[in-house]
Structure 1
Amino acid sequence: MRLSRKSEYGLRALLELTKAYGQVALRRSDIAEVQHIPVGFLETILLELKRAGILGSRPGVQGGYRLIKPPEDVSVGQVIRILDGPLAPIPCVSQTAYQTCQDCPYSEARDCPIQDVMFDVRNAITGVLDGYTLRAFYDLGRNRRVRKSPQRRGKNALSRTQ
């Protein structure tokens, strides 16, 4: 699986919105500046997340975007599915968008050895991505910024193991 630029930017924007959850709405331009996301592309992403019921928006001086679902109730996997579609590596193992594979030589999908492996891949991917909520994702990043490790790239490097 390869994370698309769209999902990467969407998750980065949602980190900012999780940080501001329950406080203020954030302007698109502010999110774009902090997270280094092109404003036009960010607008497309935010609108998709709004249509999916994760974000709300309000126009005006005090306006902007905000999470309308608690960050504890939205998984990273859910966000990626909204922005990129199914997580499954091939369509015949998708839980949300099943299709038979094009030119499949097997009359029964269950006879396909590729499918057996891809079920395991799908389960591993969805297990990890659905296991992280936006709150956990945000907390993970916040903890990394606080904890320092002198073993990695100097004194100010962040540690993945802490």
Structure 2
Amino acid sequence: MGEEIKVIVFGLANEEYGIEVEKVRTIERMIPITRVPKTLAFVKGVINLRGVVIPIIDLRGRFGLPESEPTDSSRIIIVAVNDLEVGFIVDSANDVIDIDSDTIDSPPEVVGGIKAKYLRGVAKVGDDRLLIMLNLSEVLNKSEIIQLEQQEA
């Protein structure tokens, strides 16, 4: 049996995803986002959260999914990876669960239209629930984002 991992479960386009709790700083309700010119479409802008300016990424846009208007259940999940704090806009943040690291299988090539490189794997939870585990270092791949920004400039 592998180690237990605490995971925050969030919803995005009718799928359930997971991020390890230790990478999550806070989960916030939607607040006004200041648009930043000349950024990628999925970079929605920045927020000022308790005196810290944090870039906000729409995960739907990052994954090439159709974007949607925020609802009452939309949340911003603030994560920290490699000294970088970033907020992800998600459709909902549902709960915190424990999963066994042994239940995480490597991801198939494409899950729900999302390329495998953004995914750490797929965790089996219970008998019929699959949780798509994000690979945050790829989702926040700085060189790729910089490259994309240069292409748009």
TM-score, length-scaled by structure 2: 0.27
Q: More relative contact order in 1 or in 2 (CA 8 Å, sep 6+)?
A: 2
Higher strand share: 2
User: Which of the two has higher C-alpha Rg?
Assistant: 1
TM-score, length-scaled by structure 1: 0.26
